[in-house]
Amino acid sequence: MTTPSKMRKRDLMTLVHDHPTAGHPGRDETLQQAQNHLVWKGMTAWITDYITGCATCQQNKNLTHWPRVPLYCITTSEDSLPFQQITMDLITGLPNVRGKDAILTIVDHGCLRAALFLPCSITITGPGIAALYLKHVYPWFGLPKKVITSVAVAPISSFPAKQ
pTM over 0.75: no
What are 48-96's pLDDT values in tens digits?
999 989 888 888 877 777 778 877 778 888 888 899 999 999 999 999 9
Is 92:104 a contact under the CB 8 Å cutoff?
Answer: no
Q: Which amino acid is at 82?
A: P
Where do runs of H (alpha helix) occur along 36-72? 43-52, 55-60
Q: What is the pLDDT of residues 102-141, one digit of tens each?
A: 999 999 988 778 999 999 999 998 899 999 999 999 999 9
The DSSP letter of residue 59 is H
